[in-house]
Amino acid sequence: HLQLQESGPGLVKPSETLSLTCSVSNGSINTWSYYWGWIRQPPGKGLEWIGTIYYSGSAHYNPSLKSRVTMSVDTSKNQFSLKLTSVTAADTAVYYCAREMYMDAFDIWGQGTMVTVSS
């Protein structure tokens, strides 16, 4: 069955750029049926959707984060990525990648990766 795995630095300095990659295994990212998303959860807080991207590269971001977020897809590597610029301590969170059934549900999730913003 399809699996997702997040990877990237666990520590990022304030004002720098957070970069994460989600690797898709046992299935193709190149499918018209699904979208690919990022969701985060700060410690002790609720879930926040960051954005969603289609295999074609078309992306849709959370309006509250839009100015700082860029998502991309690399179909040759079966991966999609997240960049979040100008990070602050408020961006400290567990970051999850997930497969989205368009506007219905996130049906497959990665285990999540903790990213701490600190100098």
| Residue 89 main-chain phi, psi, to 5 deg | -60, -25
Taking CB under 8 A as the binding criterion, the range among 19-27, 69-77, 80-88, 100-108 that sits at the site for another protein is 100-108
Q: Among residue numbers 68 through 97, which ones bind another protein (CB under 8 A)?
A: 96
- Strands 3-7, 11-12: pairing kind: unpaired
- Kindly give, in sequence order, each residue whose CB lies less than 8 Å from that of residue 63, ignoring residues fewer than 6 positions away: none
18 binds another protein, rule: CB under 8 A: no
Binding site for another protein (CB under 8 A): 4, 37, 39, 46-49, 52, 60, 62-64, 96, 98, 101, 103-112
